[in-house]
Amino acid sequence: MILILSVLLALTPPPGVIHHGEEILTAREMILMLEEASVVFVGEKHDDSLAHQWELFLWMTMASFNRVLALEMFETDVQEALADYLAGNLILEEFLEVSRPWGNYIEDYHPLVEYAAENGYSVIAANVPRRFAAAVARNGWEGLSNIEGGDVFLSINVDSTNEFYRERFMTTMEAISSQMQSMPMDPSNMYRAQLLKDAVMASSITGHSCLFICGSFHSDYHSGIPDQLESGVTYLTVKIVGEEEPWDADQADFMIIR
């Protein structure tokens, strides 16, 4: 806690007003509350520069040998390469060649990974490899039986009981379908693929305290990845809201508004 307070004093938080229910908090007050949770989800819009500023601030403030960084942006099968990069066994160019980074990785997520590398902290590649999610989106759960290595993911427990989450997902798919004139895959199978992503991401942090960076749909309203956590895991959620983006206080425990 002393280290966290010293880092807080040294860093200037990014712009934004922090809402916690009906309260307005300082960054220091929010951090001290977040520290009480084993898992802290930070929900972002992937192209929001303010979100990435807050993510780096939160990671630099909360990082420790007891709290790892978990990223939706890397898939579980690149964990070894990620660990090699953190240990200095791969240079950046070699790491990028084998890790399938997102297009905005260098600008938006690499600073998080580099901070971990510089300080000896751990990073978890949390997401399911996309070929397995794609197999489920095309053919449902049976798709995992038809792809090499899929049996590993069939063994992961998937909680599908959150009807609110399902309704939100289907509403989103309907909106996309109306824009595209047609939906290329069965929305029910696409939802199963979404659940697989959530379940794998939850499974990837079993036994760890972490700061988890993910798309906000995966943690909004305490749904998505939180649904798949083991019983008894304490967690809190943060959402960064872009300029003129609609929001409500129930979306996350802490809403950071530009």
DSSP, residue by residue, the chain: -HHHHHHHHH-PPPS-EEEETTEEE-HHHHHHHHTTSSEEEEEE-TT-HHHHHHHHHHHHHH-BTTEEEEEEEEEGGGHHHHHHHHTTSS-HHHHHHHH---TTIIIIIHHHHHHHHHHT--EEEEEPPHHHHHHHHHHTTHHHHTSTTHHHHHTS------HHHHHHHHHHHHHHHHHHSS-SS-HHHHHHHHHHHHHHHHHHTTT-EEEEEEEGGGTGGG-SHHHHSPTT--EEEEEEE-TT----GGG-SEEEE-
pLDDT (tens digit per residue) in 196-211 = 999 999 999 999 999 9
Parent domain of 86: 2-7+16-257
Specify the CATH number for the domain of residue 161. 3.40.50.11550
The per-residue pLDDT string of the chain (258 residues; one tens digit each, 9 = 90 and over) reads: 555 656 665 799 999 999 999 999 999 999 999 999 999 999 999 999 999 999 999 999 999 999 999 999 999 999 999 999 999 999 999 999 999 999 999 999 999 999 999 999 999 999 999 999 999 999 999 999 999 999 999 999 999 999 999 999 999 998 877 665 555 679 999 999 999 999 999 999 999 999 999 999 999 999 999 999 999 999 999 999 977 889 999 999 999 998
Residue 40: predicted pLDDT: 98
Count of structural domains, the chain: 1
Give residue 4's pLDDT: 61
Question: How does pLDDT run across 102-154, given as a tens digit for each residue?
Answer: 999 999 999 999 999 999 999 999 999 999 999 999 999 999 999 999 999 99
The dihedrals phi and psi of 24, each to the nearest 5 degrees, come to -110, 125
pTM of the model: 0.94
For the beta sheet containing 39-44, the strands, ordered from the edge strand earlier in sequence to the opposite edge, are 23-25, 17-20, 254-257, 235-241, 39-44, 209-215, 67-75, 123-127
